[in-house]
Chain A
Amino acid sequence: MTSWTEMQNRSFYEATARQRAKYLLDEGTFHELVGPEAGLSSPHLPVLGEAVSFDDGVVTGVGKIGRRPVFVISQEGRFIGGSVGEVGGAKMVGVFQSALALYEKAAAKYPGDESRLPAILISFETGGVRLHEANAGLLAHAEVMEQIQICRGKIPVLSLVGSKLGCFGGMGFVSGATDLTIMSELGRVGLTGPEVIEEVLGKREFDASNRALIYRTTGGKHRHIMGSANYLAADTIHAFRAQVQRILALPYAEITAHRSIGSPALVEEQLGLTALAAEIKPKDAAEVWAYYGNANCETIPDLSTDEFLQHVKTRKGGSAS
C-alpha cells in the first residue's frame, strides 16, 4: 500500500477526489462524511437509466491541519464530469453548515485562538450543473453561494484548482467567491466552456480544440497574472498542501484580504479591469500579459512553474508565491 508520504508526491492533476481529500490533510486524520457506505446516491439518475456513484461524484470529509479542524470538499471528474446534482450539492452545503456549527464550539472552547478554528478547502473538478438533474443542481449552486457569504468573517474558504477537468459553469463563480484560490498551471477556471464560446463566436474566433488557446484564456498562469489565482503551486498534492498550510497559519484578516470579489471596493477594482478590457480589446490573453509588462509572452506557456514565478509580472505587481 502506498504510504501517506509517498502520496504527497503524486500529481494533483491525476489524483482522484478521495486521494486529494485525504492527503491534503494531516496523516491519519481524515474522516469521510456521508461516504459511499451511507448509500445516499442520486435518486434522479436511475430514472434516466444512468448508473449512480455512491459518493455522487463528490467526496466530503474532515480532519486536521496542525491544530485546525479542516473540512474538504473534493469533486470527482471521472463521474459525469464532476457535475453537481441534488446529493452532491447537499454534501457541499452540509460541509458549510457543519463547519459553521463547529466554529461556534471551537470559538467558545478556545477564545481568541484562531489556530483552533475550522477552515474549508474545496478541490474543484467540475463543469458545474449536472444536466440529468439540472434544476436540482442549479438550486444547489445558489445554496453554496449563500453559504460562502454566511461563512465570511468566520471561516476561511480556500479554492484548489489543478485537476483534469478544471472548474467551469456555476462552480467557476463558486471558486471565485471564496477567500482565496490556489491553482497549478494545469488548472483552468472559467464560466463558459470552450465549446459554447466556439458555438457563439465561431471557430475562427475561438477554436475549442486548441488546448494552448484554452490554457492561455483560463489556465493557472493566466489567472495568476490577472490576480484571481492568488497562488500558483506545482502539480503535486504536497505543493498544494504546503501552500494551504502557509495560508492557514495566517490571521483570518490576512487570508480574506486575498479576495477578488465580495465588497464595493473589489467590485470597483474589477470594473476598472472591465474598462481595460473595453479599451485594449485583446484578441488573445497574451496581449493582456504584455500590457502588464511581460516580455516574450509566447514563451510563457512553456516556462516551468518555478521559472514563471521568478520572471512573471502580474496585475498586482511582481510574483506572489
Chain B
Amino acid sequence: MSDTRPKNLVGKGREALETLLAPGSFSEGAVGTQTLDPALGPGAVVGTASLQGRTVTVIANDAKVRNPRFPVVLAGVIGLEEAYKMALAVYLTIEADRDAPLAEKRPILLVVDSPGNAPGKVEEVFGMHLATGAYQLALAEARQAGHPVVAMIIGRAISGAFLCHGLQADRILALSAAHGTMIHVMPLGSIARITKMDIERLEELSKTNPVFASGAGYFYKLGGVEEVIDDPADMPAVIAKHIAEIYKLNAEDRADELGPWGRGTLGAERGGRTKRGQVLDLMASQVAALEKELLS
C-alpha cells in the first residue's frame, strides 16, 4: 500500500488535522460548552477533537482562506479576528475544566503554519499588538492552570506568528526541514539587507551559528524546539508522549522545566544560549545583596 499522506504540509493546516486527529473526531468551533461563530477569523481553525484517545482543544491555521473583512489576512496570516478567536478558544478551554483536577485539564494542541501577523494599516490603528498579546497571555494562563500546551510545527513558524502561536507552549515539536518546515524571524537575505551584512558571509556563518540561521535544527540547539520529527505519521504518538510528560512534570511541581523558561535552561544545556543563565544568576545575587535596603 502506498503512503498517500502528503510529505509536505506547508499551507495545508486542515489536511494536517486529518493526519493528527482521530478520524471524524474534530468538532470545529466547539470548545467546552460554547461554539464559536464559524465566520469569525476564518484563518484560524479551532475546535475539540480526539488525539490518541484524549480529548484536546485544537488551534490551527488555515492558509487557504481569506478573511473577507481584512484583506491582508490570507495564506495563514493571523489577523485581529484570528488572534482573538484563538484567545477565546484558550479561555473556553480553561473555563470548561475549571473544576477538573490537574490530571484532567485538557491539553491544547497548536498546529502551527503561519507566515506572520497581519501587516495592515487598519490592524495597526486598532492594535494588532494587543490581539497577538491577548492570545499569548491566554496560553500562558492555560499553562499556569495546568493545561498541557503542545505546539506542532507543520509548516511556517515565522517571527511574530511563532511568538503568538507556538512559543508559549510547554513543548514545541517540529517536522524536519525535509518537509518544508520553516522556523525563523526573517530569511537570511532580508537579515543581510537590513543589517547591511554580507549575504555570503552570513550564509557561511549560519552553518555553524544557530542564533540567526533558519530551521528547526538551529532552534533545537537553542532549546527553542524540544523534538524534531522526521516522519509525519509519527506526529500523533510523539505529541501524546509529550502530553504525558507535561502532565507528569506538572504533577511533580516541575513546571519550570516546561514552556519558555524551561526552554531557556534547555538552550544552555544544548550549548546554544550560554550567557542567559549567567545574567540571571548575577542579577539574582545582586538583588539579594540589596534586599535589606530595598525592604527598609
User: Chain A: residues with CB nearer than 8 A to chain B?
Assistant: 31, 33-34, 38, 40, 42-44, 47-48, 60, 62, 64, 69, 86-87, 89-91, 93-95, 97-98, 101-102, 105-106, 109-110, 116, 118, 129, 131-143, 145-146, 148-150, 169-170, 172-177, 189-192, 196-197, 200-201, 205-206, 217-218, 222-223, 226, 228, 260-264, 266-268, 270-271, 273-274, 276-278, 281-282, 285, 288
Query: What 13 new A-B contacts, CB under 8 Å, besides A40-B278, A173-B163?
Result: A102-B287, A132-B195, A136-B276, A141-B167, A143-B261, A172-B129, A191-B117, A191-B124, A201-B121, A264-B91, A267-B87, A273-B127, A274-B81
Determine whether the beta carbon of A177 is less than 8 Å from that of B80: no
Which of B126, B164, B210 lies in contact with A226, CB distance below 8 A? B126
Q: List, in ascending order, chain B residues with CB within 8 A of A34's CB.
A: 279, 282-283, 286
Q: List, in ascending order, chain B residues with CB within 8 A of A98's CB.
A: 283-284, 287
- Contacting A at CB under 8 A, from B243-296, are 259-261, 263-264, 267, 272-280, 282-284, 286-288, 290-291, 294-295
The distance in angstroms between the C-alpha atoms of A247 and B280, with both chains bound, is 29
The distance in angstroms between the C-alpha atoms of A106 and B294, with both chains bound, is 9
* Chain A to chain B contacts (Cβ below 8 Å), 9 pairs: A90-B280, A91-B279, A94-B283, A134-B186, A139-B267, A177-B133, A192-B120, A262-B137, A267-B87
Shortest beta-carbon distance from A84 to chain B in Å: 11
Q: List, in ascending order, chain B residues with CB within 8 A of A131's CB.
A: 185-186, 191, 194-195, 212
Determine whether the beta carbon of A270 is less than 8 Å from that of B276: no
Determine whether the beta carbon of A101 is less than 8 Å from that of B84: no
Shortest beta-carbon distance from A42 to chain B in Å: 8
Which of B87, B210, B259, B276 lies in contact with A146, CB distance below 8 A? B259
Which of B122, B185, B212, B279 lies in contact with A94, CB distance below 8 A? B279
Determine whether the beta carbon of B91 is less than 8 Å from that of A44: no
The distance in angstroms between the C-alpha atoms of A40 and B281, with both chains bound, is 12
Question: Given that A94-B280, A137-B185, A191-B160 are contacting pairs, would A200 and B72 also be in contact in the complex, using a CB cutoff of 8 Å?
Answer: yes
Interface centre among B122, B202, B279 (most CB of A within 10 A): B279
Q: List, in ascending order, chain A residues with CB within 8 A of B81's CB.
A: 271, 274
Which of A116, A129, A191 lies in contact with B123, CB distance below 8 A? A191
The distance in angstroms between the C-alpha atoms of A173 and B213, with both chains bound, is 24
Which of B205, B263, B278, B295 lies in contact with A139, CB distance below 8 A? B263
Determine whether the beta carbon of A135 is less than 8 Å from that of B280: no
Determine whether the beta carbon of B295 is less than 8 Å from that of A264: no
Tell me, yes or no, whether B88 is within 8 Å of chain A by CB. yes
CB-nearest residue of chain B to A106: B295
Determine whether the beta carbon of B286 is less than 8 Å from that of A33: yes
The distance in angstroms between the C-alpha atoms of A192 and B209, with both chains bound, is 27
Determine whether the beta carbon of B282 is less than 8 Å from that of A135: no
Determine whether the beta carbon of B222 is less than 8 Å from that of A135: yes
User: Chain B: residues with CB nearer than 8 A to chain A?
Assistant: 40, 69-70, 72, 80-81, 84, 87-88, 91-92, 95, 117-134, 136-138, 140-141, 144, 159-160, 162-164, 167-168, 184-186, 191, 194-195, 197, 202, 205, 209-213, 218-219, 222-224, 259-261, 263-264, 267, 272-280, 282-284, 286-288, 290-291, 294-295
Determine whether the beta carbon of A191 is less than 8 Å from that of B159: no
The distance in angstroms between the C-alpha atoms of A48 and B283, with both chains bound, is 27
Which of A48, A105, A149, A173 lies in contact with B129, CB distance below 8 A? A173
Q: List, in ascending order, chain A residues with CB within 8 A of B267's CB.
A: 136, 139
Question: Given that A38-B282, A149-B140 are contacting pairs, would A86 and B184 also be in contact in the complex, using a CB cutoff of 8 Å?
Answer: no
A-B contact count (CB 8 A): 280
Which of A42, A47, A118, A138 lies in contact with B167, CB distance below 8 A? A138
CB-nearest residue of chain B to A190: B124
Question: Given that A131-B194, A267-B138 are contacting pairs, would A277 and B80 also be in contact in the complex, using a CB cutoff of 8 Å?
Answer: yes
Determine whether the beta carbon of A197 is less than 8 Å from that of B124: yes
Determine whether the beta carbon of A139 is less than 8 Å from that of B120: no
Determine whether the beta carbon of A174 is less than 8 Å from that of B133: yes
Determine whether the beta carbon of A105 is less than 8 Å from that of B144: no
Determine whether the beta carbon of B185 is less than 8 Å from that of A264: no
Determine whether the beta carbon of B121 is less than 8 Å from that of A197: yes
CB-nearest residue of chain B to A48: B197
The distance in angstroms between the C-alpha atoms of A93 and B91, with both chains bound, is 25
The distance in angstroms between the C-alpha atoms of A197 and B119, with both chains bound, is 6
Shortest beta-carbon distance from B292 to chain A in Å: 10
Question: Given that A177-B136, A267-B84 are contacting pairs, would A139 and B128 also be in contact in the complex, using a CB cutoff of 8 Å?
Answer: no
Q: List, in ascending order, chain B residues with CB within 8 A of A263's CB.
A: 91
The distance in angstroms between the C-alpha atoms of A282 and B123, with both chains bound, is 10
Q: List, in ascending order, chain B residues with CB within 8 A of A91's CB.
A: 279, 283
Determine whether the beta carbon of A64 is less than 8 Å from that of B260: no
Q: List, in ascending order, chain A residues with CB within 8 A of B280's CB.
A: 90, 93-94, 97
Determine whether the beta carbon of A270 is less than 8 Å from that of B294: no
Shortest beta-carbon distance from A228 to chain B in Å: 6
Which of A146, A172, A228, A271 lies in contact with B140, CB distance below 8 A? A146
